[in-house]
A = this chain, B = another copy of it.
């Protein structure tokens, strides 16, 4: 049996275009000699469709589209789509072929944690299904799975065992599994263990493409019954993985460096956000600092240098080296670059507020005005030329609240908001290594980070210490007490956890940010703004 895993990139809600995309790849697969084609979970409607699933006409359209696809099929296809039955909605895998829908399976395990809300929409199927698929001169019994069904250990059940008992000759899992660091290793290890348990070939077909905060990585996998990997789809690209079960060719799992993987994830995240919202061009502020430099590189690799506009917005506190570094970066990237001084605007703000401020000491209010003037200038260019503003803040800053709401937080998309400051450095060094040159000026990497909002300011954190602690609190979900027990400075932990808590209000108004870790700020982390829980203090 020749199986093609079609890892494609649909757009949420674009049902007709998704249908065309599916048919295009189906025909490619047929032309390449496939006998069975497999498409991802909910591929016709895009993932996650969220509350669109509550609209009757959305479901009508999805069902009609599936019927229309089925009518056009020759060889069998497995494809994900929602299905209504007796007033309930199911997340289904359909088997189509020879012009009709011949079977379906209802997803059993519905993820309702982190970024997933499937219980909000779907009813859980109550049985495993083995569907017999007929080919020209044979038939194969396929054990059906959808995404989370693979992770059955977390639900204290064993779905592959049940499929095997029901006579499955292979397992097909259709997924919409978002990327995060280390995900390929998790999946391949788990699938290999299922193969070891059942001695059944396993085909895992995963979606590609970015949708709001999520980036689907593809990286589909095929194993023969002897636990040999026999097919692997590329990361972050549409493609077909074609494998021949009768003549399997074992391969080695291809892995790439962590920094490279994250970088390519973010490039796809930016590219898809623009493409799927219809934007062509981006604008971002270039301060000469490392965050905006890395964001600029990603934007150029996603959109091309002609579609990225860099703006330097110096004040009296901007150092010469910062301006030089920003200019050098823009030159290296080959992008449009302009300078708009904020001095005179700041002067008028100061003047206008003089009476209200009444001789008070200069502080955060004045610093934030600078950030907000810059944010407003970028938005003015955005409104005038239809450029989308990219926000350049990193995760450590966002955690600590070291960022200005309606200022440097402005943007339609936050590119590196799920990268710790440590990762920002690591990716920047990787960029230069990959380029074989100082694409990002080495000075931007090596100088002490500074917001340059007052004379001789430097960021008030030792990022080498703070950044990993923030990651431990957010991504590893460690508690402050645990970290102190592990040797962290109690006062520092108290300060960090307090800052994370009281700055929730800023993050609630942040631009959507591309997720690359196990826990990003955004839809997967739901913490109240009004929140008096502090385990280190009595309330």
Across-interface contacts of A50 in B (CB, < 8 A)? 526-528
Q: Tell me whether B406 and A380 are in contact (CB under 8 A).
A: no
Q: CA–CA, A525 to B56, complex, Å?
A: 16
Q: Tell me whether A356 and B338 are in contact (CB under 8 A).
A: yes
Of B12, B113, B355, B479, the contact of A533 (CB 8 Å cutoff): B12
**Cβ-closest chain B residue relative to A113:** B120
Q: So how many copies of this chain end up in the complex?
A: 2
Q: Does A446 contact B (CB under 8 A)?
A: no
Q: Does A67 contact B (CB under 8 A)?
A: no
Q: Does A535 contact B (CB under 8 A)?
A: yes
Q: Tell me whether B212 and A533 are in contact (CB under 8 A).
A: no
Q: Does A252 contact B (CB under 8 A)?
A: no
Min Cβ gap A280→B in Å is 15
Q: CA–CA, A112 to B511, complex, Å?
A: 26
Q: Tell me whether B406 and A383 are in contact (CB under 8 A).
A: no
Across-interface contacts of A476 in B (CB, < 8 A)? none
Encode A375-411 as 1/0 by CB contact (under 8 A) with B: 1110111011000000000000000000001100010
Q: CA–CA, A340 to B354, complex, Å?
A: 10
Q: Tell me whether B509 and A117 are in contact (CB under 8 A).
A: no
Min Cβ gap A485→B in Å is 12
Q: Does A348 contact B (CB under 8 A)?
A: yes
Of B119, B341, B479, B512, the contact of A55 (CB 8 Å cutoff): B479
Q: Does A255 contact B (CB under 8 A)?
A: no
Q: Does A530 contact B (CB under 8 A)?
A: yes
Q: Which of A12, A338, A355, A364 has the most CB of B within 10 A?
A: A12
Across-interface contacts of A136 in B (CB, < 8 A)? none
Min Cβ gap A340→B in Å is 5
Min Cβ gap A205→B in Å is 22
Q: Tell me whether A117 and B345 are in contact (CB under 8 A).
A: no
Q: Tell me whether A505 and B412 are in contact (CB under 8 A).
A: yes
Min Cβ gap A207→B in Å is 14
Q: Tell me whether A54 and B529 are in contact (CB under 8 A).
A: no
Interface size of A by Cβ–Cβ distance < 8 Å? 88
Q: CA–CA, A412 to B16, complex, Å?
A: 40
Q: Does A72 contact B (CB under 8 A)?
A: no
**From residue 362 to 379 of chain A, which have CB atoms closer than 8 A to chain B?**
363-366, 368-369, 372-373, 375-377, 379
Contacts from A to B (Cβ < 8 Å): 11-17, 48-52, 54-58, 61, 112-113, 117, 119-120, 211-212, 272-273, 276-277, 338, 340-342, 344-345, 347-349, 351-353, 355-357, 360, 363-366, 368-369, 372-373, 375-377, 379-381, 383-384, 405-406, 410, 412, 477, 479, 481, 505, 508-512, 523, 525-535, 538-539
**Cβ-closest chain B residue relative to A19:** B539
A-B contact pairs, 12 of them (CB 8 A): A13-B532, A15-B539, A51-B527, A52-B527, A55-B477, A58-B535, A117-B526, A340-B356, A356-B384, A372-B376, A379-B405, A512-B529
Q: CA–CA, A51 to B525, complex, Å?
A: 7
Q: CA–CA, A377 to B372, complex, Å?
A: 10
Sorted nearest first, the 4 A-B pairs with minimum C-beta distance are: A13-B533, A14-B532, A365-B383, A365-B384
Across-interface contacts of A347 in B (CB, < 8 A)? 348
Given contact pairs A58-B533, A509-B509, A531-B13, A375 touches B406 in the complex (Cβ within 8 A): yes
Q: Tell me whether B15 and A533 are in contact (CB under 8 A).
A: yes
**Cβ-closest chain B residue relative to A533:** B13
Across-interface contacts of A377 in B (CB, < 8 A)? 349, 352-353
